Amino acid sequence: MGMSILDWMRAAGFTDYEARAYLALVKHGEMTASRLSRASGVPYSKTYEVLSKLEGKGLVEVQKGRPMVFRAVPPRISLSRYGEEVLRGLEEEYSKKRRALEEDYAERTSRISEALRRASEELQVLFDEGGSLEASDDVIWTIRGRENVLTQMRELILGASKIKMILPKRLFRLLKNEIRGARAEGEVIVESSKDEAPEFLGRMRIYLMERIPFKCGVLIADGNRTIFTSEKLEMGFKSSNPGLATILNHFFEHEKEEAKMELRAS
């Protein structure tokens, strides 16, 4: 069932009494307050208040006298002007709210950033005093979550002086910028064919394999710090365990021998 004229007027911001009064004036022409009350159903005690509001909105004209007579301003004129005022009011209201939200956002982000910076500094001091993860050589640490795994790998790449990596296509694309910017020398086995060989990356020697075994990523930094992860990065394992480092180094050397091509700097 469609909306009535009164429904549309209420949706446009009219109160029920305002909508009824204006509709009655449009339909019946000039009327006194008492006649308008009977025609519209607006209580007589509310009629003058409602008509005064409609007059203030430019929708009704008043002929002074005893009794006063009221008539509707043509809808095409009055509703257009009324709509402009309503929309302008909404724009001003939402502009104020937007400014308030922007100020609140700026204040909260600044406060949170400062709190995180201070907490990070002080917690890092405590962490360093208590010994880093690498100090526990026999422990294999689990890293959960894609961004956490990537962050740990990026930090290890950028902080090492020598690295070895085995990287499936997807993981190589995610770490390419860090590999290019690393100060380390190293070797990278990349899942790629000759036709789609990656560009030479800094001081790295690139070896191509058409298929990486197990679709896993391996990072060995400075010979003993290691991260092992699946291509999808749901979980990774980090350790300085000498036995694990030896196994991964042997695995890397074996896969390097199996590589089909080596890229060198031109």
Find the angle CA(71)-CA(74)-CA(75) to the nearest 5 degrees. Answer: 115
CATH assignment of the domain containing 227: 3.30.870.10
Residue range of the domain that includes 46 = 5-73
Task: List pLDDT tens digits, range 51-68.
Answer: 999 998 889 999 988 888
Domain edge (last residue) among 73, 97, 117: 73
CATH number at residue 35: 1.10.10.10
Question: Is the same domain home to 148 and 248?
Answer: yes
Helical segments of the chain, H only? 5-11, 16-28, 33-40, 44-56, 75-130, 146-159, 169-181, 242-258
Q: What are 78's two structure tokens?
A: 């009055």
Residue 1 has pLDDT above 70, yes or no: no
**Residue 152 covered by a domain:** yes
> Quick one: 143 and 215 in the same domain?
yes
Alpha-carbon gap, residue 50 to 42, rounded angstroms: 9
Nearest to 186 by CA among 141, 231, 215, 156: 156
* Number of domains present in the structure of the chain: 2
Token pair recorded at residue 58: 């430019």
* Last residue of one domain, picked from the residues 73, 105, 126: 73
199 assigned to some structural domain: yes
Over residues 213-263, the pLDDT tens digits come to 778 899 999 998 999 998 888 899 999 888 889 999 988 998 888 886 666
69 and 149 together in one domain: no
- The answer to whether position 114 is within a domain reads no
In a domain, 146, yes or no: yes
Last residue of a domain, one of 73, 88, 116: 73
Tens digits of residue pLDDT in 160-196: 999 999 999 889 989 988 888 888 888 999 987 665 5
φ and ψ at residue 160, rounded to 5 degrees: -90, 160
In a domain, 110, yes or no: no
Same domain, yes or no, for 141 and 55? no
The verdict on residue 13 lying in a domain is: yes
- Whether residues 236 and 149 share a domain: the answer is yes
If asked whether residues 47 and 141 sit together in one domain, one would say no
